[in-house]
Amino acid sequence: MAAGAVPDMLKNPINPSKNLSEIRNCAREDIPAVAALFQKTFRNSDASAPRSLEAYLADSYLDHPRYDPKIASRVHVDEGGRVTGFVGVFPGRFDYRGRTVHAAIAGTLMVEQPDREPLAGAKLLRSVVKGPQDITISETTNQISQRLWEPLGGKVVPLLSLDWFRPLRPASATVATLAEKFPPAALLAPVARASDWVGRSWTKQSLKTAEPSARVSTSADVSDSDFASAVLDLAEANEFRPAWDRQDVEWLLARAARKERHGSLHRAVVRRRKGDLVGCYLYHAKPGGVGRVLQILARPGSAGDVLDCLFREANEAGLSGLRGRSSGQLIDALLTRNCFFVHRASTIVHTADPDLAHAVQNGGALVTGLAGETWTRLIGGNFD
């Protein structure tokens, strides 16, 4: 370069606000772009995102009753000002040995063109874990996202990273599960039902559903208020648990009610004959399908009784099976009730506090289901 020449970059100075990508809080005006990105990423569709999806995203992330701008969803904005990435974050408050713990519940992560912007996902997650919260938790981390979490210090929680599966009608359950990924497989349902009928003696012997103890009974005819009361009461059994109030639980239950792809909502409270609360459960199911269990809560030592009630109800309703997420509270009872375990997604925790890390890792924490993010209709909803 000749002496005295002015470099091109100084002739045309870069405006960082216009030429560099940025990570910032998701704002209401970003919602249409986030919905379009969700539509393309998770619904494999180039069609316009329905208004119902936009409304749900705004309601869940921006109008959450505990919304905190310091612990909020983030967007990745490219140099042209377009939203090209998103990570959904729900604020959480937990109680641990009398201490209030602030949490970020990180979930939906998407980038428009990960090949073109390979660091966008990592930047989004980094911006979340650097927030003011005491702990960051994600319960739906796939293998791709897990590779982004690990360099940031995220740790998998093994006990909370297994899905259990309880077949009730094995052939029908196999077809129903296959049809979720390959819809034409549903044409095999009549053959599967016939196979289950032929093999019913083997199923009854090998996959026998235990009769619930005579000491307990279930009530499915329970009001929103009573079910919320049961959830609040039973959550106390966990050392690390949400610091919910009634409004929080009723808000979550209302938004968990509709999951069209998973079926209608079923719930019940389990009590002893004298009326003492034993447990409760919440699941979605279609006739003959595999029910998706969102939450099971039980008194210490009573998980088996609650599971037996759930399995009997599902069997009598004609479901082909049930599936849900494992927990420290349930694992022993699941192992002795003909359940299979598979890994579909990991629960990951990030915290600089070793006591909090240990509290979640040892299995004594309630951080999934209603306490996490799988309650959201983004998992299982249609939005047509």
Q: How far apart are CA 122 and CA 146, in angstroms?
A: 10
Each residue of 232-265: pLDDT tens digit? 999 999 999 999 999 999 999 999 999 999 999 9
Predicted confidence at residue 115, as pLDDT, reads 81
- pLDDT band of residue 212 (cuts 50, 70, 90) is confident
Q: How far apart are CA 149 and CA 20, in angstroms?
A: 24
Predicted confidence at residue 133, as pLDDT, reads 97
- pLDDT band of residue 192 (cuts 50, 70, 90) is confident
Q: Tokens in use for 4?
A: 């005295």
Question: 213: buried, middle or exposed (CB in 10 Å: 19+, 13-18, 0-12)?
Answer: middle
Q: Give start and end residues of each alpha helix (H) in 182-302.
A: 189-198, 200-206, 224-235, 246-256
| 131 has pLDDT over 60 | yes
| 18 has pLDDT over 50 | no
| 10 has pLDDT over 60 | no
Q: Which CATH class is domain 163-168+209-344?
A: alpha beta
Average pLDDT rounded to a whole number, residues 196-206: 80
Q: CB–CB of 71/133 below 8 Å?
A: yes
* More reliable by pLDDT, 231 or 16: 231
Q: How far apart are CA 380 and CA 384, in angstroms?
A: 12
Each residue of 317-348: pLDDT tens digit? 999 999 999 998 999 999 999 999 999 999 99
Predicted confidence at residue 21, as pLDDT, reads 84
Predicted confidence at residue 3, as pLDDT, reads 40
- pLDDT band of residue 205 (cuts 50, 70, 90) is confident
Predicted confidence at residue 64, as pLDDT, reads 94
Nearest to 295 by CA among 331, 272, 327: 327
Predicted confidence at residue 182, as pLDDT, reads 86
- pLDDT band of residue 214 (cuts 50, 70, 90) is confident
Is residue 261 helix, strand or coil?
A: coil
How large is the greatest C-alpha to C-alpha distance in the chain, in angstroms? 95
CATH 3.40.630.30 domain position(s) in the chain: 10-159, 163-168+209-344
7-14: Cβ within 8 A, 24+ apart: none
Predicted confidence at residue 349, as pLDDT, reads 96
Category of 369 on φ-ψ map: left (φ > 0), alpha (ψ -120 to 50) or beta: left
| 1 has pLDDT over 50 | no
Predicted confidence at residue 113, as pLDDT, reads 86
Q: Tokens in use for 266?
A: 């079923």
Q: What percent of the chain has pLDDT over 90?
A: 72
Predicted confidence at residue 14, as pLDDT, reads 42
Q: CB–CB of 311/209 below 8 Å?
A: yes
Each residue of 68-82: pLDDT tens digit? 999 999 999 998 899
Q: CB–CB of 84/29 below 8 Å?
A: no
Q: How far apart are CA 227 and CA 330, in angstroms?
A: 20
Each residue of 92-114: pLDDT tens digit? 999 999 999 999 999 899 999 88
User: What is the pTM assigned to this prediction?
Assistant: 0.89
Each residue of 271-320: pLDDT tens digit? 998 889 999 999 999 999 999 999 999 999 999 999 999 999 999 999 99
Predicted confidence at residue 296, as pLDDT, reads 97
- Looking at residue 202, its amino acid is W
Average pLDDT rounded to a whole number, residues 6-25: 57
Residue 263's alpha-carbon distances to 140, 184, 293, 379, in angstroms, are: 20, 19, 11, 12
Predicted confidence at residue 63, as pLDDT, reads 95
Topology adopted by domain 10-159: Aminopeptidase (3.40.630)
Residue 307: φ, ψ to 5°: -65, -40
- pLDDT band of residue 19 (cuts 50, 70, 90) is low
DSSP 365: B
